[in-house]
Structure 1
Amino acid sequence: MKDLKIVLLGSVLLIGGFNLTHAASFSCDKAKTVTEKAVCQNRNLNDADVRMVTTYNIVIHALPMGGRDAEKGAQYQWLKQRDSCRANVSCIAQCYSERQKHLDDIVQNRILTQGPF
């Protein structure tokens, strides 16, 4: 559990060192969808993307195989939902907020209490 807390802290510290040409989950220079371009153009959305993908990566590496597969499927569905927002900033922000809450719940209620794997 101490190692996981160190990873979480390290991830938080890394978040501060990015620039707006690269969000955590994609390169803004290669943004293809209207939604990705909106994320790159809005600092709050970009920050939400960085936080969400950092938490997602922690979750994926800490869950057992079955949970990992389920969460990858949920992430794919979430991306489709987020992209359906198009350039609607409040819709995109709401999607990030809901996904972040879900991932935070996994970290708090499953990983930190039960341990990885």
Structure 2
Amino acid sequence: MKLRHLLFASLIASPLAHATSFDCKKASTYVEKTICSSPLLGKLDDALSENYGAMLATDLGDGPDNKALKKEQRVWLAQRNKCTTERCLVDMYRKRVDDVCDAPVVSGVHAVCVEASDIQ
């Protein structure tokens, strides 16, 4: 019985337990597996997902679906997927977490964004 509790506790505390913008159970690439195994990258991925979603909900002046932001994100994802080290991924995420919120809002209130420097 104790062994079962230890196993369950280790699964809860495992790096795969943190949330990300994709399902870690389906991680297949080096980048996805690295994000899923790193608590820092998991937090950065969460922050980026949160910031990106918040900015998509604002008026950036490029149409109702914020085409430019979506295009920038696709380009960034392609660059991110070229990383071959965890350091590369951390650097790319830290920059993108902040960059995604740099767009000026045309009307309404600017989204509240998480800053990369707040993520440890």
TM superposition score normalised by structure 1? 0.70
* Higher CA-based Rg: 2
Match of 2:50 among 47, 51, 54: 54
Q: Name the counterpart of 2:70.
A: 72
Q: Deviations over 1:73-106 (max 9, x none)?
A: 11011111111003x1110011101111212323
> Structure 1 stretches of 5 or more lacking a match?
1-18
Deviations 1:13-41 (A, max 9, x none): xxxxxx83463310000112110100000
Gaps of 5+ in 2: 1-14, 111-120
Runs of 4+ in 1 over 4 A off after TM superposition: none
CA contact (8 A) 1:64 1:116 kept: no
Would you say how many aligned residue pairs link Structure 1 and Structure 2?
94
Q: What's the CA shift for 1:66?
A: 1.9
Q: Secondary structure at the match of 1:51?
A: helix
CA contact under 8 A between 2:18 and 2:39: conserved in structure 1? no
Identity of aligned residues (%): 31
- Contact 1:62–1:116 (Cα < 8 Å) also in 2: yes
Aligned residue in 1 for 2:11: none
Taking the TM superposition and a 5 Å limit, the aligned residue runs for 1:1-117 are 20-21=16-17, 23-64=19-60, 66=62, 68-86=66-84, 88-106=85-103, 110-111=104-105, 114-115=107-108
Q: Is the Cα–Cα contact under 8 Å of residues 49 and 96 in structure 1 kept in the other structure?
A: yes
Amino acid across the alignment from 1:94: D
Q: Distance in 2 between matches of 1:24 and 1:41?
A: 11
Q: Which structure carries more helix by proportion?
A: 1
